[in-house]
Amino acid sequence: MTSFTPERFIDASGEKIQKSELVMSFGAGRRKCPGYQIAQDILFLLTARLVQRFHVKQHPNHPITSLEPTLGFFLTVPNFKVLFEDRLNALFQKFYRIF
């Protein structure tokens, strides 16, 4: 269960996200983080904005050799470097080349 398989959170119909009891980033039970909904909404918007604005690519000088997580107190991914290429800039350059 350490591989990156985000589809594990999608239900059998393939349309809805199903919550897992195993994910406890915000704690569990009566002391569960009361800010989890706003935190999840902000994280969703932030991630959506990043992938909307940038192409995320491997850094040519720092190839990613493994994304295998390490199981400790938390599950952590190894450090890696990536390039954020501005999608908007690339789009504008294409646009101005046409006109």
**Which chain residues interact with ligand HEM by CB under 6 A?**
25-27, 31-35, 38-39
Bridge partner list, 71? 75
The nearest distance, CB 32 to ligand HEM, in angstroms, is 6
3-class secondary-structure state, position 24: coil
Helix or strand run (H / E) with residue 46: helix 36-53
Q: Which of 79, 87, 84, 86 is nearest to 62 (CA)?
A: 79
Nearer to ligand HEM, 24 or 64 (CB): 24
The nearest distance, CB 3 to ligand HEM, in angstroms, is 22
Cβ-proximal residue to ligand HEM, closest one: 35
